[in-house]
Amino acid sequence: MNKRLVLISLLALGLGGCSSQVSYGDPQQVETVDVSFGSTDLQTIAGEMTDSMISSPLLLDITAKGRPIVFVDRIKNKTTEHIDTESVTDTISTKLLQSGKFRFVDMTTVNQVREQLGFQNDSDLVDPSKAIAFGQQVGAEYMLYGNLSSIVKTNKKTKDVYYKMTMRLLDLKTGLVEWADETEIRKAETKSTFGW
């Protein structure tokens, strides 16, 4: 009986030691877990790029004539890390849309839209007078695209990571780049006694 009680106590202690605690944090708080690309970097880059684009004198002229229609190409990841550049792209396009100066066409949904329009126009399930006809969508006037790159250097004590985000706005009619900018982030990590 005593052996059984000791075994149950040891199991309870072992299982209790494996528990974890979850809590919410401020998503705007600076995160510095390591030098890898993180949420603070995403917010910084997206904020600086959208602020630059919105305040650019050239774009002030373009947006004064109306809200130009923009297609946003997914940001290219040219780093050695796995970075969700779709999140960077989404944050930038959301901030630009919220500025009230731009309108967007979403190229990621073209196949789904085509399928839905085909369903509406080619099936007997939809009232023809309420079906949306093909050929009525608006095309983009500009394409926003960019790259995220990094340079990583290490020595025995320090790991230094430099990130650079470059973005351009291309006039699809003329092929001219109407706006371009870059933003940079540098992060350093000092090696502890036990390694990285």
* Averaged pLDDT, 82-86: 87
Please, which residues have CB within 8 angstroms of residue 188's CB and are 6 or more apart in sequence?
A: 35, 158, 159, 160, 161
Task: Return the amino acid letter for 139.
Answer: G
Report the range of poorest mean pLDDT among 70-79, 119-128, 168-177: 119-128
Q: 131 in a domain, yes or no?
A: no
pLDDT tens column, 50-60: 999 999 998 88
Local structure of residue 160 (DSSP, 8 states): E
Share of the chain above pLDDT 70, in %: 82
Q: What residues make up the domain containing 118?
A: 35-125+138-190
The CATH number of the domain where 69 resides is what?
3.40.50
- SS3 per-residue string spanning 92-155: HHHHHHHCCCCEEECHHHHHHHHHHHHHHHHCCCCCCCCCCCCCCCCCCCEEEEEEEEEEEEEC
pLDDT at 87 exceeding the cut of 70: yes
pLDDT, tens digit, for every residue of 90-138? 999 999 999 999 999 988 888 898 899 888 888 888 888 888 888 888 8
Assess if residue 119 is contained within a domain. yes
Establish if 84 belongs to a structural domain: yes
To the nearest whole number, what is the mean pLDDT of the chain? 84
Strands 103-105 and 69-72: parallel
34 vs 132, more confident? 132
Give the pLDDT band (50/70/90) at residue 40: confident
Q: Count up the domains in the chain and report the number.
A: 1
Q: What is the pLDDT of residue 46?
A: 87
150: pLDDT confidence band, cut at 50, 70 and 90?
very high
Q: Burial level of 195, CB count in 10 A (0-12/13-18/19+)?
A: exposed
pLDDT of residue 194: 61
| 18, pLDDT greater than 70 | no
In a domain, 147, yes or no: yes
In a domain, 153, yes or no: yes
**Backbone phi, psi, residue 40, to 5°:** -65, -40
Domain annotation covers residue 196: no
- 98 in a domain, yes or no? yes
Whether residue 27 is contained in a domain is answered as no
Q: Select from 170, 165, 175, 189 the least CA-distant residue to 49.
A: 165
* Location of structure tokens 């299982």: 15
